[in-house]
Amino acid sequence: MLTRLREGTPDAADEGRTGAASADGLAVRGAPIRAGGVGHSFGDLRVIQRVDLEVEAGEVLAVVGPSGCGKTTLLELVAGLRPPDAGTVTVGGHSQAAARLERCAYMPQRDLLLPWLSAVDNAGLALRIAGIPRNDARARAGEHFERLGLAGFESSRPEQLSGGMRQRVAFLRTLMAGRPVLLLDEPFASLDAITRAEMQSWLADVLGPDRHTVVLVTHDVEEALYLSDRVLVLGSRPAAVADLIEVDAPRAPDRDSAVTSPEFMELKQRALRSLAEAAR
């Protein structure tokens, strides 16, 4: 839907050259992700049976599936936070867990903003951890507040922000890490329906000109189709790939028009059928 495989996006020949962190956190080229025959268990509980996955540099891939099927675990495997029991995972051509983690920025379901820090200091937290002086980190993060609809709230504490604004700060914090791969784990799950729709439109605008590689986990089929280039449908635990949907519906100028178009509705029905069949 975002048509994110733009001219100039790195191809497979660039795998070894992608992945460096950016000085300002945002001017980053995405890195490709490859997973072959990946499986994982927690003790005797098999969570992921076998997943084969290819995400091109600069692409947005959404992952949907039943609750408990291993979507979050898949993100953790990509990020190098967990080792796969079977198969291989590479990010930017690197298979070592530390190298994958170095190339991924992970945004969990909860915003996890630090209550004692201002919005701009929360957004620049990754820069501070990297050793950037506080004033420089504030300046770099603050440059993006207007773009993300946060201008005027730089000094606000998390308790003074709405749910949608907190998620924007959390997303900017993820971006400012300067990693080529963004792993988003149901970033809008805690929001009400109206705010969630607004945040989907906002994220689509942010990701449109962006060059990160993005893997988005969501339970919302409509959200997945609206924000991504492809949708990976996982079956019930132990998860395997049930469907892979190319989102080639024409992009409407606004979210309401996009999600009500005949092409979009056809893709939505296919995704729902795949989910229903995979859950049997």
Q: Are residues 49 and 90 in the same domain?
A: yes
Q: Are residues 133 and 236 in the same domain?
A: no
The answer for 245, left when phi > 0, alpha when psi is -120 to 50, beta otherwise, is beta
| Per-residue confidence band for 188, with pLDDT thresholds at 50, 70 and 90 | confident
Structural domain contains residue 2: no
Q: Are residues 232 and 126 in the same domain?
A: no
Positive or negative, the CA dihedral 236, 241, 242, 246 is positive
Structural domain contains residue 7: no
pLDDT at 253: 62
CATH at 51: 3.40.50.300
| Per-residue confidence band for 193, with pLDDT thresholds at 50, 70 and 90 | confident
Task: Please write the tens of the pLDDT for every residue from 88-119.
Answer: 999 999 999 999 999 999 998 888 999 999 99
Quote the domain boundaries for residue 25: 12-103+181-278
Q: In this prediction, what percent of the chain has a pLDDT beyond 70?
A: 87
Q: Are residues 191 and 250 in the same domain?
A: yes
13-17, 55-59, 243-247: least confident range = 13-17
Task: Please write the tens of the pLDDT for every residue from 204-240.
Answer: 877 776 678 999 999 899 999 999 999 999 988 888 8
| Per-residue confidence band for 2, with pLDDT thresholds at 50, 70 and 90 | low
Domain boundary among 178, 213, 231: 178
Ranges of H-type helices in 51-124 = 71-79, 97-102, 119-123
What is the residue-averaged pLDDT of the chain?
Answer: 84
**Cis (ω within 30 of 0) for the bond into 238?**
yes
pLDDT at 4: 41
* Closest to 186 measured CA to CA, from 63, 272, 80, 94: 63
Structural domain contains residue 110: no
pLDDT at 40 > cutoff 60:
yes
Residues pairing with 55 in the sheet: 33
